[in-house]
Amino acid sequence: MKKINTFGIQFVIRKHRIKDDKAPIYARVTVNRERAEISIKKRIHVDNWNNGRGMAKGKSPEISKLNSYLEQIRSQLTECYQELVINKEVVSPEAIKNKFLGVEDSGETLKGLVDYHNTGMDSNLRWGTLKNYKTTEKYIEKFLKQKFKRNDIFLVELNYKFITDFEHFLRKYQPEDHHLPMGNNTVMKHIERLRKMTNLAVRLGWLDKDPFVAYRLSFKRVEREFLTQLELDTIKKKQFKIERLQYVKDLFVFACYTGLSYIDVMNLKPNNIRIGINRMTWIITQREKTTTPVRIPLLSQAQVLIDKYKDHPRSVNKGTIFPNISNQKLNSYLKEIADVCEIDKNLTFHVARHTFATTVTLTNGVPIESVSKMLGHTDLKTTQIYAKVVEKKISDDMAILEKKLSGKKSQKKKSK
């Protein structure tokens, strides 16, 4: 039996969006009890609207002109409906709305692009990177619901305004949990991921024009936090009676003397520890993030901690050097350690990697090329960021020395 569609068009006003006593008018399209609303970009004084008839009331030229315009909209929407029926396409309020708005020719949607990317790149992207894309997807969904009252939009609807509106949404977003609002660089990372996905759409032929063509990402340079030698020594010497804090401290110190990230420390296995050149013990592994090979001569401060934990029951059971602990818990416990050690810095596990690059290696004269290799950087420019930090420290130290020397000169002059 042939399905018969029930179709209707009604004009309504949104009283909760009244401005200067005028409410916006919407065309409400209904098909088989489902409906979609379209703004017709007109407003009317609430007293001049007939709710029952869905039209303006009165006989002034302005009112007559508005009602004539509403009938034109009704006629255009009816034509869109009839076109779908004649072409035997799926008839729905959204389909009519999209045809009316002129976006019906693009079957590809933003949600479809995100799904295609995250599914297709599942085997190419590392778990941590894919997780970040999933987070960006979550914010896109929230933005669509808030801004458009929709779960999806067509790719052809993406434009400069969409991107800037999404940026504004992210900057103003208030998390429901304990997390702080997003900083500038976090916002930019979400938009950067969206750009990478739209670039994919352009390459696939799903988009004719890059919506990011006029948009510029604006990352702010952030000073890399690291520990001074005094701060590192303070943590090293501190002994904790609470086992979890002692273990986290040991992991952190180990990373300070190897430069390994959290995931690379957790993945470290006994076969990653090998005897290399000059009979030295080396860590030979690859970065989880980039799969770049990493070879690090093992310093005695790190070797002691390997020996301490390699036979731990949880390490043996998992086949790793260190017992597993989540990154979230680890960073939470590091905050406690920083408080106890009176270190006024945002202590995270990644600070250990920065400390290895600056305080442990570059400051002690290890060539930047060697440091770059041990960190697993594929571009020396990435490592040069740390060199600039060290240069700044040298500059500050020399400024202090200059003051001391100037003080001694003035004292000698006074004594004469």
pLDDT means per 10 residues, the chain with 416 residues, are: 75 88 93 88 92 91 94 95 84 84 70 88 70 91 87 84 94 74 90 95 88 89 82 94 94 94 92 86 84 88 93 91 92 94 91 91 87 86 77 76 74 59
Which one of 101, 136, 152 terminates a domain?
A: 101
**Residues 340, 267 within the same domain:** yes
Report yes or no: 324 and 318 within 8 Å, Cβ to Cβ: yes
d(CA 168, CA 352): 34
Is the pTM higher than 0.75? The answer reads: no
**Residues 54, 88 within the same domain:** yes
Number of domains making up the chain: 3
Helix 184-204 to helix 110-120 angle, to the nearest 10 degrees?
Answer: 90
Is residue 55 in a domain?
A: yes
Contacts of 77 (CB under 8 A, 6+ apart): 9, 27, 29, 38, 96, 100
Helix 243-256 to helix 327-340 angle, to the nearest 10 degrees?
Answer: 90
Is residue 124 in a domain?
A: yes
Sheet containing strand 22-31, strands side by side: 7-13, 22-31, 34-45
**Residues 193, 270 within the same domain:** no
Which one of 76, 101, 126 terminates a domain?
A: 101
**Residues 349, 236 within the same domain:** yes
Is residue 209 in a domain?
A: no
Please give the C-alpha separations between residue 128 and each of 47, 113, 132, in angstroms, as whole numbers: 57, 20, 6
Is residue 236 in a domain?
A: yes
**Which residue, 130, 253, 138, 143, is CA-closest to 196?**
130
Is residue 96 in a domain?
A: yes
d(CA 207, CA 224): 38
The predicted pLDDT at position 222 comes to 67
Is residue 319 in a domain?
A: yes
The predicted pLDDT at position 416 comes to 57
**Residues 246, 273 within the same domain:** yes
**Residues 88, 166 within the same domain:** no
**Residues 128, 55 within the same domain:** no
**Residues 23, 128 within the same domain:** no
**Residues 236, 360 within the same domain:** yes
The predicted pLDDT at position 156 comes to 77
**Residues 90, 190 within the same domain:** no
**Residues 310, 176 within the same domain:** no
Is residue 372 in a domain?
A: yes
Is residue 283 in a domain?
A: yes
Burial of 360 (0-12, 13-18, 19+ CB in 10 A): buried
**Residues 169, 61 within the same domain:** no
Q: Coil, strand or helix: which one is 298?
A: coil
d(CA 269, CA 285): 9
The predicted pLDDT at position 276 comes to 79
Q: Which domain holds residue 69?
A: 7-101
